[in-house]
Amino acid sequence: MRFPPRGLYAITQTDGKSPATVIAEIEAAIRGGAVVVQYRDKHPHDALTLARELVKVCHRHRVPLLINDNIELTLEAGADGVHLGKNDGHIREARERLGTDAIIGISCYDSLERALEAQAHGATYAAFGRFFPSGTKPLASPAHPDTLRQAKQALSIPIVAIGGILPENGAALLAAGADLLAVIGGIFDHDPELSAHAYQRLFDSQ
Ligand SMILES: Cc1ncc(COP(=O)(O)OP(=O)(O)O)c(N)n1
Ligand SMILES: Cc1ncsc1CCOP(=O)(O)O
Ligand SMILES: [Mg+2]
């Protein structure tokens, strides 16, 4: 499935939640307008079963599902691609194992250099952040909107922004050059469908 060029990118909030809740919340976020989903789970119990269920739900809605960190799980679950950070393996290995059609997203933090390298190695998108303090990942290192402005000039692949993004602060990142907003707490700390819809309006009014 193709990676959407813009829109809301929902990432699962799994801690303390049952698989059924995670699935119901993701489906609600998709109803609210999320155009891509990532399964991120730092304390999984049965990751393969949940990942396979998420693939089914996402594909029913024609939305691609990516897996965070884990190339093997991406293959086993039949997901559309993987998101890799600096400690999660190399894009070359991901491309070799997942094939030419797979979506491969790369965390670039605040580094345009890292994004240019990722693009040259065939990354599907580059993710920058965190832009605002994140309750989900309090120790994530900061990134600056100026990096988005430079990335917009220098990259041809879609640009994802992440970290503490709310409907109230997301518009500034879109204006700086982000194509997609990746969100956890801003969707799943509240009613997921209504919250996703609030982000959707940022894209409608752009
Ligand atoms: C869309 C998106 N952007 C950034 C990240 C962060 O990846 P990483 O730095 O590997 O950190 P963890 O998510 O693994 O804690 C992401 N997952 N998704
Ligand atoms: C995975 C990740 N990487 C940088 S910030 C972050 C967490 C994003 O979650 P939230 O939208 O709740 O800040
Ligand atoms: Mg990671």
Instruction: Answer yes or no: is 68 within a domain.
Output: yes
CB 201 within 8 A of CB 174: no
pLDDT > 90? residue 206: no
Domain contains 1: no
**Residue 67's domain spans which residues?**
7-204
Instruction: Evaluate whether 104 touches 81 at the Cβ level (below 8 Å).
Output: yes
Looking at ligand 1, which atom is closest to the CA of residue 85?
10
Strand partners, 126: 106, 159
In this structure, is residue 11 part of a structural domain?
A: yes
Tens of pLDDT, residues 74-104: 999 999 999 999 999 999 999 999 999 999 9
pLDDT for 24-74, tens place per residue?
Answer: 999 999 999 999 999 999 999 999 999 999 999 999 999 999 999 999 999
Q: Across the chain, what does the average pLDDT equal? A: 98
Residue 116 located in a structural domain? yes
pLDDT reported for residue 58: 98
Residue range 139-145: mean pLDDT, rounded: 98
Check: pTM over 0.80? Answer yes or no.
yes
Chain centroid offset of residue 59 CA = 16
pLDDT class of 192 with cuts at 50, 70, 90: very high
Task: Tell me, yes or no, whether 167 lies in a domain.
Answer: yes
Q: Is residue 2 part of a domain?
A: no
* Residue 129 CB neighbours (<10 A): 27
Instruction: Give me the CATH number covering residue 100.
Output: 3.20.20.70
What is the C-alpha end-to-end distance of the chain, expressed in Å?
25
Query: Does residue 65 belong to any structural domain of this protein?
Result: yes
- Among residues 131, 200, 191, the alpha carbon closest in space to that of 160 is found at 131
Which of 40, 95, 130, 195 is catalytic? The answer is 40
The reply to whether 105 falls in a domain is yes
Residues with CB under 6 A from ligand 2: 129-130, 134-137, 140, 162-165, 183-186
